[in-house]
């Protein structure tokens, strides 16, 4: 099985290099002007197909790994639940929504503004948590 996967990966790699060379040989101007759009579109559809096939296998094998062990499932559910709780706290507790005009003349809704704010707060909180965990880990190692 490992040999088959290696051969398939090598084939995909070689095809990717060939497709890249074909796109590059068309030139920047041809791509910008749309003269090479047929070949570029074909390559984009192939890239999308490979991406979704890869994504499918990643999801399948991840779920297979999570559901085969009860401890792994419990740990995963705790982590996802903690993240969801933190996201809800950031959305409902920290973020404020204000209608905002955008550069193109449209308006960002109050809900959209609150969602953006919550995403930023969530990002900052996760950075603080990661930094604190790294600091504690370093202190623990120094004490030992």
Q: How far is CA 88 from CA 7, 16, 66, 67, 91, in A?
A: 45, 42, 25, 26, 5
What is the average pLDDT across 136-142?
93
Mean pLDDT of the chain: 85
**pLDDT tens per residue, range 6-20:** 898 888 888 878 877
> Would you state the pLDDT for residue 96?
86
Residue 2 has pLDDT above 60, yes or no: yes
Enumerate residues 6+ apart whose C-beta is below 8 A from 111.
Answer: 97
- Predicted structure pTM score: 0.59
Residue 36 has pLDDT above 60, yes or no: no
What is the average pLDDT across 100-117?
86
> Would you state the pLDDT for residue 24?
74
């Amino acid at each position: 099985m490992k040999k088959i996967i290696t051969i398939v990966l090598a084939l995909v790699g070689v095809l990717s290099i060939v497709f890249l060379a074909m796109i590059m040989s068309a030139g920047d101007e041809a791509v910008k002007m749309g003269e090479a759009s047929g070949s570029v579109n074909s390559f984009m559809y192939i890239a999308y197909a490979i991406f979704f096939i890869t994504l499918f296998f990643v999801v399948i094998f991840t779920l297979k790994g999570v559901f085969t062990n009860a401890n792994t499932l419990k740990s995963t559910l705790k982590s996802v639940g903690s993240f969801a709780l933190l996201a809800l706290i950031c959305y409902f507790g920290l973020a404020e929504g204000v209608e905002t005009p955008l550069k193109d003349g449209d308006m960002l809704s109050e809900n959209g503004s609150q969602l953006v704010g919550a995403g930023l707060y969530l990002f900052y909180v996760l950075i603080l948590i990661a930094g604190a965990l790294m600091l504690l880990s370093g202190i623990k190692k120094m004490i030992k």
